[in-house]
Structure 1
Amino acid sequence: MNQFNRLVSEQMKTMEKLLYIQAELERCQEIEDELRKLQNATDLESIQDDIQQMKKELREIQLIFERQTEEVINSYRDVNLSASL
């Protein structure tokens, strides 16, 4: 069960990262909308670069989270199989 707890703990840390990046992405998109309204091309380009980088990081974290979910499920199955034998 120790392995399972470690995996769940890692997954919770990943989830915190995921939520943080999502919040930052939303914030940057709001800034992007405001800059569009102001038609400030230089700042707009900079924030668009930030948004693209955050989207890339978000996709990477989502893949990590999916992999961790599979590890948690497999660990839980192993624990239950061992307990039922």
Structure 2
Amino acid sequence: MNAFKEKVYQQMETAEELLHLYAELEKKKKMRDFLIKMEIHDSAEQLSVQLHELDRKLKHVQEMFDQQMTEVINTPSE
């Protein structure tokens, strides 16, 4: 049962990271859109680069989450 609890705890930590990344991504998208509307293109372009990096990291963490969830599901109960 300890292995199962440990995997669930790790999954919860990964889920928290995903939530944080989603929130950060949305915040930066809104800021980029605002900068574009204000015609501050240099800063908007810089935010676009940051958004691309955040999206890459989000996809990586999502893959990790999915893999861990599979492990949690397949953990035999003791």
Q: TM-score range by the shorter chain?
A: over 0.9
Aligned-pair identity (%): 33
Whichever structure has more helix as a proportion of its residues is 1
Give how far 1:41 is off: 1.3
Give how far 1:50 is off: 0.7
What is the TM-score normalised by the length of structure 2? 0.97
Where structure 2 has 5 or more consecutive residues not aligned to the other structure, the ranges are: none
- Which structure is larger by alpha-carbon Rg, 1 or 2? 1
Aligned pair count reads 78
For residues 38-85 of structure 1, the C-alpha deviation after alignment (integer angstroms, 9 at most, x for no partner) is 11111011100110011000000000000000000011xx11xx5xxx
Matched with 1:34 is 34
What is the TM-score normalised by the length of structure 1? 0.89
Where structure 1 has 5 or more consecutive residues not aligned to the other structure, the ranges are: none
Pairwise CA RMSD: 0.8
Q: Could you tell me which amino acid in structure 2 is paired with residue 54 of structure 1? A: L
